[in-house]
Structures are given as C-alpha cells and as structure tokens.
Copies of this chain bind each other. A is one copy, B any other.
Amino acid sequence: MIETEFRRPVVTVDIVMLTPCRGELCVALLPRPNEPFADQPALIGGYIHTDEDLSAESAVRRILKAKAGIGDIFFEQLQTFASATRDPRDWSVSIAYFALLPEGWLEDPEGPLLLRPATSPGQLPFDHNEIIAIALERLRNKGAYSTIPARLLPEVFTMTELLAIYQTVMGERLDQSAFRRKVRELDLLEEIEGEKRRTESARRPTTLYRLKRPMSVFDRRL
C-alpha cells in the first residue's frame, strides 16, 4: 500500500509567557500584525520556518527574539493543538510552549508586550484562551510538588517571597508554618551565607535563599 501525501497543515509555535504582575499571574500578549485577527492581542507565536529553524524549539527562540526582543529563557513544551477548525486559514497545528519569568522582566512600557491577568485575559483569537487555561492547569499540577513556581522569582529570594509566589500559582492561601516545614523536608533551598536583606517591616534582617538543585541546566538561566 503506497500512502499518497495529502496537503500539509500549517505549523506554528505559540508561547504562553507567564510572569507575576500586580500581585497575580499575568500572560504576555502581542497585538497581531496581520490578518486574521489583525491588531488583536494574542499569544506570541509564528510559523515554523523550514528553511532556517532546526527544530520547533529553535523556532520559539527566533520568534521570541524577533517579535518581543527576548533572549535566552527557559521554556518547555505544553501541548500541541491540531485541528481543521482552530485557524480560519487552514488545517493548523500549534505546538504550544510555556515560559515562566520573574516579575518585571516583561514590563517595558516602551515594548510591544501587553500583560493581562492569566485567568482573565479577555477574548483572544484562535484557541488561545484554551491554551492559556491548559498552561495554568499544568503549572498548578506541577507546582504543588516541585520547584517550578520558584522560576517566577529572581535567583535570590526570601521565604516570604517564595510562599507568596506559591500562593499566586496555586490560587489559594497556604499555611505558613506547614509551607516552611515542607520546603525544609524537600531540601530545595540553600541559604546565602553572609547576605541578608533589611526591610522596613521586619525587625531583623531577612535570610536570603536560592534553589539548591536546578531542575535542569536551563534553570540556571533564571
């Protein structure tokens, strides 16, 4: 049986960039330069360029750089969305990725990015609302038992900041002493010796921490 080849689908990548902003988790959007849905905010994404991209991941890096001026960051594959109906142009495949960035990294008032609350980003083109919802679900599922939410913090942080970001990700208040005990048990953090931070609210200088074992080499970039 010889299988004849069919008209090929369109293949794009889309990136769900999440970052804390104004006390909640926000998603980065970019107004679309072209039709369909021209000028409407949407996930950062674009076609795979078969003449220059070596892989879907290199397409993600090229697009982040070209469309949002973003350099080397950690991202991982989320899920692929592939159907005859998700894009009005043609049968379409979007390989979706997600990236977690510390607060302030994406907040450039001169830049092209818009930050919208990830749980209520407004009505977006294509299936971008569904893609964001699945990214949040993945983050919450993984967050409960991993160091992943710490990627939303700068390299050095206080225990209070760590608790706050877990609460932001999980969308619920966590018991502070149970949280500290869990973090100690899992042996995730190392104390930064000889360095403390003085804040106005705390009477004593606050201990600073960083992640002990990055979950992968990419983690080091944060």
Contact = CB atoms under 8 A, between A and B. Distances in A.
A79 B57 CA distance: 13
Given A56-B93, A93-B95, A48 B11 contact: no
Interface string A39-78: 0000000111111011110000000000000000000010
Nearest to A2: B34
Contacts of A80: 56, 77, 80, 95
B7 A50 contact: yes
Contact of A49 (B6, B53, B54, B90): B6
B95 A83 contact: no
A60 B50 CA distance: 25
A89 to B, nearest CB: 9
Given A56-B83, A91-B48, A8 B6 contact: no
A8 B11 contact: yes
> Interface residues of A: mostly helix, strand, loop or mixed?
loop
A56 B91 CA distance: 10
Counted per complex, copies of this chain come to: 2
Contacts of A50: 6-9, 84, 90-91
A3 interface: yes
A5 interface: yes
A208 to B, nearest CB: 31
Given A1-B33, A11-B11, A6 B82 contact: no
A9 B11 contact: yes
A47 to B, nearest CB: 6
Interface string A84-128: 110000110101000000000000000000000000000000000
B34 A56 contact: no
Interface of A: 1-3, 5-11, 33-34, 46-51, 53-56, 77, 79-80, 82-85, 90-91, 93, 95
Given A6-B48, A8-B50, A80-B80, 10 more contacts: A3-B33, A6-B50, A9-B11, A9-B48, A54-B83, A54-B85, A55-B83, A56-B82, A77-B79, A80-B95
12 contacts: A1-B34, A3-B46, A5-B47, A6-B51, A7-B51, A8-B10, A8-B11, A9-B11, A48-B93, A50-B90, A55-B82, A56-B80
